[in-house]
Every structure is written in structure tokens, then in C-alpha cells.
Structure 1
Amino acid sequence: MDAGTDRGSRAGRLLRQYPLVALTSLMILATVLLPQFGLEEPVRLLASVYAAAVVLVRSVSMIRTLRKGRWGIDLLALMAVASTVAVGEYLAALVVILMLASGEGLEDFAHGRAVRELRSLLDRAPRFAHREMAGPVLDDVPVDAVVPGDVLVVRPSELVPVDGELLSDSASMDESSLTGESLPVERHRGELLLSGSVNGEAAIRMRATATAADSQYSRIIALVEEASASRAPVVRLADRYAVPFTVLALAMAGTAWLLSGDPVRFAQVLVVATPCPLLIAAPVAFLAGTSQAARKGIIIKNTSTLEQLARARTAVFDKTGTLTSGRPVLDRVELASGPGQDNGEGSDAGRLLQLAASAEQFSSHVLASSVIEAAAARNLRLLPVTQATEHATQGVEAVCGGERVVVGKAGLVGATASGFRAAALQSGQLAVYVAVNGTYAGALIMKDPLRADAMDTLATLHRLGIRHTMLLTGDAHATAAHIAREAGIRHVKAECLPADKVSEVAAIAERPVLMVGDGVNDAPVLAAADVGIAMGAKGATAASESADVVVMLDDLSKVALAVAIGKRTLAVALTSIWTGIGASIALMAVAMTGYIPAVTGALLQELVDLATIVNGLRALHGADRLPGMTSSPAGATSREVEYM
């Protein structure tokens, strides 16, 4: 495509997307150039009719808005256009219309910025996968044909086609397009690979654990589509200053007309009072804020959420998968004969873990994979298994290496083994009991540990202005209190059903309220909170769809970063707004004396516009350098837990 065709294409796209901006720009160009050819009167008539038509059309929607009780800053802009047309200052009227239309265009652009940041992912979506067949043969199949259990090969620099388990010893993955993490991530055998991540320099083997539709890449695409369709009703930040600023501007313009007796003075004051900085300042800042968030792996679905994040006073957390890792790990092995200190192969504790993990291969219980992973971490070889029988929700029986093993809950193991005794558990622990050949052998003590970044995240949120924190969970009181105390959360509500969580959030007085969760049962409360934040990297799709913010990296500290981005964005937007108000008042004061012609006043407003745009772009960066984002001494968040 040549340069001329490309310019024509861009012009056509501008005309389609922002027709008022394009047409007004053409009118201004004609108004400046055509009088040189003796066409001043036709141009004056055309420009005046055009400006009057814009005022009439926009007045219809403005009247509807006023009838609904909403007073927008656009009223003052339309009055400025009408007054300049009335006194013959048609060029000034066109400049004001251009600024009004540009501000609205920037708002639309700001709303869709998060979508555009992620749209490029669609062009890179995996379309084919290399599936292993018999022997060394690879079959290239459409990614939609891959099913869980298929063994795939991913060549160097290729995209991982679906979510799956790494079968090779290790892999270096570029996950930046998914999570915002710029450095390569080392993955090891058995770890999850996310679809859409880029393989490093060596071919790897993996086993698919999800279809393409259920994989991470498709979930991101679904979020992009939702963000594109999401248009929450938002009162523009600048509109909150509409009434006092409009009253002040009209008072100053009326006074100037009254004292001078010249209606042109009224138009001159209103032109410099036209709140173009107010119309443009907030959209530019919010555009920059959503862009910064997207680069950090945080999807913000609409720009109004940034202000809610900035003003948040209460943060509520789910426990499992949010404050904790969501995957129980082995804390210790407790032998029936006494404490087991060595879990390695050859020790009694190691043998017990080896037998339990071998039997758990045939269990679908959520703890089974944790037991198997604990054995693998200790290099314990799984034994051949025969005659395996699973007891739903209770445990599994199997013959492992010639020994009959029963693994599961106390009820199952206690009923089949002699010498059974319940393990002494602390808060936050649970036991997987093991019997061997009809005799109680011991217990595997498991715990769901607090995330490594949970304490720092809570401390950072407090420094950023979050006054109250709460834990809402369906777990027992003892477990919830243990996690809350460890994380530094004071208020706890345990044993909650999803409906209970919604009621608790609705009853919170200190608002706005953030709710952070990741599971399907968190979806209702995420939707009910002022700002729902979903841990979307490993969380449930329903949670991500209900949330206002989705953290694509499995990193709780991103919650604090989202709040910091909101604060940075709001501070920049307010600075621009107050700068615009101050500049407009100063220009109005001068215009009252008659020293600023209408066209000159409109051009001066252009300079103020540029200043607000440049200032608004500061929200593109700097959130991670806010004072509250600095670290605090360990343990600073420790406090007494209070039940609610």
C-alpha cells in the first residue's frame, strides 16, 4: 500500500469513528483558507449554520439529561457555542465544538484501551498443535481437536496450544503476554503450562489438561470480549464540578456584559470558560491508568473502576486460593509408632508416604494430587498398584507393592484398621490417615499455607489507605482465624455460604469495598462488591466474568498495585482538572476586561488543553513508586483477630 492510499485509509477511519471531530476540523480548515479566495460570506454562513445545527442536535440530548436530574459540563460548552454564533464569532464557535468533540472521543478511546492492549493476543492465538502418535510420529491437528490426556510437542519459540502438564524435565517459558512478567519463567516437570505462553530454545513434551476452549488463552479472549461490551453508567469526574463552575462562569460573563453593555463580552468570557480541560483531563488520565494496569497484567474492565480503587476503604478476601495457595502441602508425617523425622526413601515416614501416594493415584479427591506431589518432591518412586477401589469423598483402598493400603478420612481408616487414633491437629491443618495390612500406620498432616506475598500485600494496602480488612470464607472458625492472624486481618466471618458473603459485603459501612476471590462460589460476592477483583491466572472463569478487575498473574501483590494505579490515576486527573479550572478562571477574569478576543480565547484554551493532556499522560507510569508501595518491617501487620 502506498503512502497516499494509507493516508486516505486513516482519514476514512477517522471520519467513521469520530465524525464530529473530522467534520469540525474540515470546517475550521475551510474557514481559514476559503476567505483568501473571496468566499468569506459563504464561509461565514456555512460555519454559523453548522455550529447552530450542532447546538440544536446536542441540546436535545442535553435536555433529556437535565430532565433525569444530571447536570453535565457540556451545558456550558453549548452555551459558549451559541453565544459566539449569536455575535458572529463563528471561528471561535468551531474551535469550541472541536474541543467538545475531542473530549468525548478521548473518553471512548480511554474506555476501550484495555481491550486494545490485549487485542493483539487474538492475532497470535495458537491454531495447530503437534500431537504424538505411535512412535516418533507427530500429527499436526487443529488446536480445537486437542483433548485432555493428549501428549503434545511444543517446538522452540512456539506458543503453548492448550493448558497442560510439563512432561520434560524443565522448560523456559515467556509468559509476558499473559501475565505481564517480563522475565522468562522456569517450569519443571509436573508444573502447569499456560496456553499462549512462548516456549524457549528447546522442544518440550507436555500432556494436555484442558481443551482449547477451557484454556488460559481462551479465557483471556473471553475477558477481552466482555471488556469490549462492558459500558457501566459512569458520571464523568469533571461533571461533579459542573454546577459550581457553570454558575461562576455565567455570573462572570453576565457581569462583563452588564458593565460593558456589549454582548460580545459575554461570548468572550464564555469561550475561555469553556471547560475543555475538564472534558479532556480525566479521559486522558484514565486512558493512561488502564494502559499501565494492562502492562502489569491487570485487566480493568471500565475506567470508573480506577476511581473506586483509589477511594477504597475496605478490602475483603476469600481464603482458599486467594490468601492461601489453594493447594495443600505436606507439613509432616505422623507415624503410629512415633514422630517421623525423615521422609526420604528407606525411612519409616518415607515408606508411609510412598504407600499413600501410590494408592492416591487412583483417587479423585482434591488432596490426592498433593500427596503425590509430596512424594515426588522427596524422590519417592511410586509402587505398582492392583485392586484399587475408591470410596467417594472418603478415600481409597489399593494393593501397593504387595501390601493392602487404605488412605483417607478418619471414618474410613478407623473402620478398617486396628489401633487407630486421631491425630492432634493445629488450626489450619488436616490429616490424611493411612492403614497398612489392617493396622493403623500413621497420618499425613497437610496444610494450605498462606501465600508468601500475603502479609506484604495486606501491609501495603493499609499504607495505601485501606482502613479495614476482612476474611470471608466457608471454612471453619479455627482455620479462618489462624490464616487471618497470620496474614494480619482483624475481622473474620467464617462458615459462609455464597449468599452469606453477599450479605456481609452489603452490610459494610466503610465504602468503597474491594472483594478479592478466585472460585466459582466467589462470583456472586465479586459482582456485589464496589470493586470485584478476581485472581484470574488459576481462578474460576465465573469469578473472572463477575469481577471488575482481573489479575492475570497468580500474584496477590497485584491487588495492591491495582489500588496504587487507581490512586495515581485519580491524583493525576484531579491535578489536571484543578489546573484547568484555575486557568479558566484566570482567563475569564482577563476576558471580562475585553482584552481577549473570542478566537484568541479559544486558542488559549487549546494551550491549556495541551497542558492537561501532557499532565494526564503521567498516569502511564509511577504507581509502583507511590510512598505506600514501599516495604514495611516484617510482622508489622500482626493484630488480634476479631470475629464478626
Structure 2
Amino acid sequence: MKLGQLIRRYPLLAAAVIALLATGAAALAGMDAASRWIAWIAIAGAVLWIGAGMVKDLLRGHYGLDILALVAIIACLLVGEYLASLIIVLMLSGGEALEDFAQRRATSELSALLDRSPLQAHLAADESGQDVADVPVEQVEVGDLLLVRPGELVPVDGLMRSEAGSFDESSLTGEPLPVIHARGSEVMSGSVNGSQAVYLQALRRSSDSQYQQIIALVRQAQDSKAPVVRLADKFAIPFTLLSLLIAGIAWAVSGDPVRFAQVLVLATPCPLLIAVPVAFLGGMSRASKEGVVVKGGAVLEQLAKVRSAAFDKTGTLTAGRPALLGIQTQLDPDELLQLVASAEQFSTHVMAAGLTAALADRGLPLLPAEDAQEVATNGVSALVDGRRVAVGKPSFIAAIDPALERVELEPGQSAAYVAVDNSFAGVILMADAPRPEASAVLRWMRDHGVENQVMLTGDVEQTALGVAAQVGIGKVEAELRPGQKVQLLKDMQPRPVLMLGDGTNDAPALAAADIGMAMGSRGSTAAGQAADAVVLRDSLGPVAQVMAISRYTLSVAHSAIWIGIGLSVGLMLVATTGVIPAVTGALLQEVVDLVVIVYALRTLRGPRPADFHGALPTQSTVALAQHVRSRD
């Protein structure tokens, strides 16, 4: 940063440095009167500047610690220690610059996402590559054909129109290896294209795409302020009174007003005002590096205190990639699968993706569908090729045809009941395996004080109990509507309560919990917006990692407060004896500032959180399918 920019950014610091140099030069030249006048003018300006800021804070109801610094500046000036006054001004203004540097250092991981935001897109008329126009990314509409050249960022979420492409998704998911996407698969905005140009069909507008949602979360995280910063402010009144009391006693006992100033120069509160927010910014940056965007220090503080946790099932405790196990129907199985997959193609439920993939494996196309309606957590109905198709829970289909036949499910299985033209038509069996790291993560949470764990799911009870047994959750609430999840979260004890989910139907529960955390790598926009934190990697491991980071961050923040107070009080007590001149005391306090800020930056490093990737693998979907078929 150039000198001119530094002066404009930190005018009080620049003025303090100039005044200190001018005062010293005048004193060395024997111009004592000029030296005093320069110091008086500079200090008066600084007092007005700091006082104005303090008044603004008081009007907003914020009682800070700046009053101590102001009293110390004025006291030193009145007893003739104007050099010490200038050093205190320099210390306060220098502390602002140090805080700015520390914040930029602490938020470097968060800022990296903002620096890579896609700005333009190549709009193509067709896939010939002849007619391409560059447009701002905000002008891309759903359905537009886009060309993405080698090494470029994918501007919006899109469907692959080319046969295949390789993409670097490390900034989104943490996956270091390139990901291959075939025709028809979804590619996330913010991915970096490989060595071959590809064509995508825009699936969402820029503002609704994955990368822009992450950008919005990052901006919220950077703009927030942690309640623990106010914890430092809670020390303002007692610390101010204690400092004034020590200084007053020193004055009264010694009979020397200089002693009052000598004590107060060591009571300036920079460690409390700077170190705590720096610690939380560092913790948020560390969480981002581990794959979790935390929307503010307040969330990080709450995560450190979590006592209860609620989990959605599908896509959260399970991998969210259900595989087809079998079809029970009197119709042609391929015909029923084609009808069901065509009706489900407009659904956001993860089962829809599994059905579409199963249909593609059999070489069958999706049929045209219209009048599609989705009833959250219950099912879907649509008019497919002229036939009314309904797919969903037994209760959803029973309302259409009470004559449905229920099936017995194995642990981990799910059943989609189907009605065609208002008559029960069959059952499609699927299995969604638990995440391999789920049991290890839940056990880690129990070992660290989160003993109350419950599964809250809209799925049927038999399926939910099977998954719960595999991951180690003893309490299950199944077949819930979104409103019922919210009520259960409100009643859950002990608090704070963490809720983890991924879908649109989880958004109310995420918003209602003390801390809502969304599985954002493939989850819905609504879930991400309602949540307080978003996991960017397709794994539960970062949940435990961010909890470990939050506990370490809170510990460092509290330690920073007590280190700052302890050093200041200790030095004040020494100063009551008169052995620390005012100028030396002001310089010592600057050393205290540096010590505490450096200590707070420990949150950028700290102990490495546990790695849960691939921990304790559970029975895979394929193995489960083979087991089920062997019993048929």
C-alpha cells in the first residue's frame, strides 16, 4: 500500500506520527515552547476525534473502553507528560492499523472466494461455436446455451450439453481431484473448466446459482460481529473503575498527580477491543478452509456450546444417492419405472435423481409430463403421457386408493408407492446407504458433550429406524411435516440445539434451531439461506471439524481477554510505585497490544481437527441391494 493510501486510511495515525516527530525535533533543537505547542495542538485534535467517536457509540447504547484511553491522554497532558500523551494517541491509532492488518490476514480464506466470482458468460446460438456473444453474467437466463472455454469459471449452474467435461470443484467442495461430468449432469457455477471447451444449458440465473449463494454467505460472514466482542465491553465499567481506583489510590498515597497518569497509561484497553474480534475472524477463516462457511462469530460461539443435535435423514445422514433395488407391480416394471421417473423429474427429492439414473441405465427415455405438483415430504403427482401418476408415501397414495398393499422393508430400504389413474399400481424399492463417516462423526459429538441426538425425518418410521441403527442414533421421530420438526426443535433440551439438513423442506427447521447447518454441496438454496452455517463439502466430517474449531476459537478469545486484563492490571500495580515513567508505560502498553493480538491470531492455526473422511465405512448401497435380492 502506498504512503498516500496509508495516510488517507489512517489519518489519526499519520497525524500522531507527524506530531511526535515534530515534537521531538523541536525539543532536540532546544525549542521547548514550540515542542509543547505542537504536542498540545495535536493532542487536542486527537481528544476531539476520539471523543466524537465515543459520543457516537454512547448514543447507540454502546459503552466501550475508549474512555480509559481518553482519560489517560488528558491526565498525562495536564501533568506535563505530553510525550506520553502523544504515544497513547499513537498507540490507539496504530492499534486500528494493526486490527485492520489482522482482520485482512484472518479473512484471507474467505476473501479468496470473493475474488473469483464469475463476471461474464459466453452466450452461444448453437453448438457450432460460430455465433458467440459475451454478456454480463447477470443477463444469463434459464435455458440459455453457454460456451465455457478451457480454464474458465462456469458462470451459472448448468446442465452439460457436451458429451463430457472435466472440472476443478476444489473451491466449492474441497475435492482436490478433477470431477468428470457427462451429458445431462449438473455442473456448479464457480467450477473451473478443464482443457476442453464445453457447452452448458443454464439451469439457474446467476443470483440463484451455487457460487453466488456461497458468495452471499461469505459476505454475511465478513460483515457480522460476534457477541463475545461485547463480552469485552462487559469489562468496560469494572475495568475502568478498577483502573481509576488504582490510579486514584496511587495519587492519594504518593501525593503526586503524575502517579495518576503513570498508572492510567497502562490501563488503555486495546487488547480487549482488538484481540477478540481478530480471534473470531481467524476462527471463521479456519472454518472456511475446512469447508464450512459460518455466518458470523455469533454462530461460531454458539457452535462451541452445542448440547443437542437433530439430523435430517436423506442427504444428511445418508449419501443422498438412492439406488433402485426392485419393482413390485402387476404392470410391466419398465413401464411403471418410466411413468414414475417422468413424474419425479420435476421433484427436488433425492429419490428423483435415483429413479432418473435407473431409467437411463435401462435405456428408456423420460416421457413428457405436465401439471406436476409436489406435496412437501409426502409425494408428487403429474400428468405423464396422458396418465395421472402419483408417487409418494403410503398415506399419500392411500388417500387416492385405500386398497394399496404395504410391503415389509429391510433396514435401510425406502419404498415409493405408486398410483396410476387413481388406482394403486405398485411399489418401487430403493436404498440410500448411510454416509461412511456418519457413525464416527456422531460418536465424536457424543464424546464432546452432544449427548442428545435425534433424527427428524419425513420418511416412514421403518426406513428411518434402519438408518438410525446403522449410524448410532437411538432417538427417531419419523413421518414428520416441516411444522412438526420446528415444534420438536423448540421443545428440545438441553440447549443450544444444532439442526443439520439439506433440502427445501428443512429450511423452517434450520431457521428455528439455535444453530442451523445446511449440507450445501448439493442442498437447496432455501436451506442455505435459512441456515447459520453451510457445509460446502459432501461429507459430515466438516461438521465435527467446525465444532472443534469453534471450541478452540472461544477458548483463545477468552484467554486473550484475561491475558490483556492480567498484563494491564499487573503493570498498573507496578506503576503505583513510581518506577515506570509515563512514556515508558505507554510503550509497554503497546507491547501488551502486540502480544495479545499475536496470541489471538492462533485461531488461524491451532490443532488440526480430526479427519473423518472415509471413517468406519458402512454397508454400501450395492451390497445392501445384493443382500435384499438374495432374500427374494
TM-score, normalised via structure 1 length = 0.79
2:158 paired residue number: 164
1:471 partner letter: M
Q: Note the alpha carbon deviations across 1:40-94, whole angstroms, 9 max, x for none.
A: 12123213423443464355346557xx5x7543343333233223322223233
Q: Distance in 2 between matches of 1:359 and 1:309?
A: 41
> Among 213, 224, 239, which residue is 1:219 paired with?
213
1:92 paired residue number: 84
Maintained 8 Å contact 1:561/1:623 = no
Maintained 8 Å contact 2:278/2:600 = yes
Say whether 1:128 aligns with 2:121.
yes
After alignment, is 154-163 or 248-257 more displaced?
248-257
1:312 paired residue number: 306
2:297 paired residue number: 303
Say whether 1:468 aligns with 2:462.
no
> Among 6, 29, 39, which residue is 1:11 paired with?
6
> Among 241, 244, 267, which residue is 1:250 paired with?
244
Alpha-carbon spacing, 1:413–1:497, altered in 2? closer, same or farther (3 Å): closer
1:356 paired residue number: 337
1:382 partner letter: L
Note the 1:20-419 alignment, pairs <5 A.
20-37=12-29, 38=31, 39-54=34-49, 56-58=51-53, 60-61=55-56, 64=59, 72-101=64-93, 103=95, 114=107, 117-118=110-111, 121=114, 124-129=117-122, 131=124, 133=126, 137-142=130-135, 143-144=137-138, 146-168=140-162, 170-227=164-221, 230=224, 235-330=229-324, 332-334=325-327, 352-353=333-334, 356-357=337-338, 360-361=341-342, 364=345, 366=347, 367-376=351-360, 379-382=361-364, 393-394=380-381, 408=391
2:580 partner letter: I
1:447 paired residue number: 431
Query: CA RMSD of the aligned region, Å?
Result: 4.2
Maintained 8 Å contact 1:160/1:196 = yes
Q: Note the alpha carbon deviations across 1:199-246, whole angstroms, 9 max, x for none.
A: 112333444322333222332343345446656776533234445444
The Cα shift of 1:445 comes to 0.3
Q: Distance in 1 between matches of 2:396 and 2:274?
A: 67
Maintained 8 Å contact 2:346/2:372 = no
Q: Distance in 1 between matches of 2:53 and 2:123?
A: 57
Alpha-carbon spacing, 1:526–1:633, altered in 2? closer, same or farther (3 Å): closer
2:537 paired residue number: 553
2:546 paired residue number: 562
Alpha-carbon spacing, 1:633–1:394, altered in 2? closer, same or farther (3 Å): closer
Alpha-carbon spacing, 1:88–1:497, altered in 2? closer, same or farther (3 Å): farther
Q: Distance in 2 between matches of 1:507 and 1:147?
A: 44
Secondary structure in 2 matching 1:566: helix
Alpha-carbon spacing, 1:335–1:630, altered in 2? closer, same or farther (3 Å): closer
Q: Distance in 2 between matches of 1:489 and 1:208?
A: 40
Q: Which runs of 5+ in 2 are unaligned?
A: 374-379, 619-632
Alpha-carbon spacing, 1:631–1:589, altered in 2? closer, same or farther (3 Å): farther
Secondary structure in 2 matching 1:538: coil
Maintained 8 Å contact 1:114/1:294 = no
Aligned-pair identity in percent equals 44
Note the 1:616-635 alignment, pairs <5 A.
616-625=600-609
Secondary structure in 2 matching 1:172: strand
The Cα shift of 1:321 comes to 3.2
2:66 partner letter: D
The Cα shift of 1:281 comes to 1.9
1:360 partner letter: A
Maintained 8 Å contact 1:453/1:556 = yes
Alpha-carbon spacing, 1:477–1:176, altered in 2? closer, same or farther (3 Å): same
Say whether 1:518 aligns with 2:502.
yes
1:526 partner letter: L
The Cα shift of 1:276 comes to 2.5
1:42 partner letter: W
Q: Distance in 2 between matches of 1:145 and 1:114?
A: 30
2:202 partner letter: A
Q: Distance in 1 between matches of 2:343 and 2:39?
A: 85
1:565 partner letter: I
Say whether 1:601 aligns with 2:585.
yes
2:572 paired residue number: 588
Maintained 8 Å contact 2:228/2:276 = no
Alpha-carbon spacing, 1:274–1:454, altered in 2? closer, same or farther (3 Å): same
Q: Distance in 1 between matches of 2:411 and 2:575?
A: 72
After alignment, is 536-545 or 419-428 more displaced?
419-428
1:162 partner letter: V
After alignment, is 189-198 or 150-159 more displaced?
150-159
Alpha-carbon spacing, 1:40–1:106, altered in 2? closer, same or farther (3 Å): closer
Alpha-carbon spacing, 1:507–1:124, altered in 2? closer, same or farther (3 Å): closer
Maintained 8 Å contact 1:516/1:533 = yes
Maintained 8 Å contact 2:440/2:612 = no
2:364 partner letter: L
Q: Distance in 2 between matches of 1:185 and 1:520?
A: 26
TM-score, normalised via structure 2 length = 0.80
Q: Distance in 1 between matches of 2:159 and 2:366?
A: 22
Maintained 8 Å contact 2:545/2:609 = no
1:514 partner letter: L
Secondary structure in 2 matching 1:553: coil
1:84 partner letter: C
Maintained 8 Å contact 1:269/1:588 = yes
The Cα shift of 1:610 comes to 1.7
Secondary structure in 2 matching 1:272: coil
Maintained 8 Å contact 1:35/1:43 = no
Maintained 8 Å contact 1:152/1:208 = yes
The Cα shift of 1:382 comes to 1.8
Say whether 1:532 aligns with 2:524.
no
Maintained 8 Å contact 1:460/1:629 = no
Alpha-carbon spacing, 1:634–1:245, altered in 2? closer, same or farther (3 Å): farther
